Structure 1
Amino acid sequence: MTPYTIPAQTRIGHIHLKVADLDRALAFYRDLLGFELITMYGDQAAFVSAGGYHHHIGLNTWQSKGGPPAPVRAAGLFHTAILYPTRRDLAIALQRLIEAKYPITGASDHGVSEAIYLNDPDQNGVELYWDRPREQWPLTADGQIEMYTRSLDLHGLLAEAAS
Structure 2
Amino acid sequence: MTAPVHPAARIGHVHLKVADLERAIGFYAGVLGFELQQRFGRSAAFLSAGGYHHHIGLNTWESAGGTPPPPGHTGLYHTAFLYPDRAQLGDALRRVVEAGIPLTGAADHGVSEAIYLNDPDGNGVELYRDRPEAEWPRDPQGNLAMSNAPLDLEALLAEAP
Report the TM-score, using the length of structure 2 for normalisation: 0.97
How do residues 1-163 of structure 1 correspond to structure 2 at under 5 angstroms? 3-162=2-161
- Point out where structure 2 has 5 or more consecutive residues left out of the alignment: none
Identity of matched residues, %: 60
Aligned length: 161
- 1:72 deviates by 2.1
Runs of 4+ residues over 3 Å off in structure 1:
none
Q: Name the SS for the 1:10 alignment partner.
A: coil
Cα distance in 2 between the residues matched to 1:67 and 1:126: 19
Letter in 2 for 1:120: D
- 1:146 deviates by 1.1
Q: Name the SS for the 2:82 alignment partner.
A: strand
- 1:158 deviates by 1.2
Cα distance in 1 between the residues matched to 2:72 and 2:129: 28
Cα distance in 2 between the residues matched to 1:47 and 1:70: 23
- 1:28 deviates by 0.2
- 1:145 deviates by 1.1
Letter in 2 for 1:83: L
Cα distance in 2 between the residues matched to 1:42 and 1:96: 28
Cα distance in 1 between the residues matched to 2:106 and 2:147: 13
Deviates more, 1:22-31 or 1:70-79: 70-79
Letter in 2 for 1:73: G
RMSD: 0.9
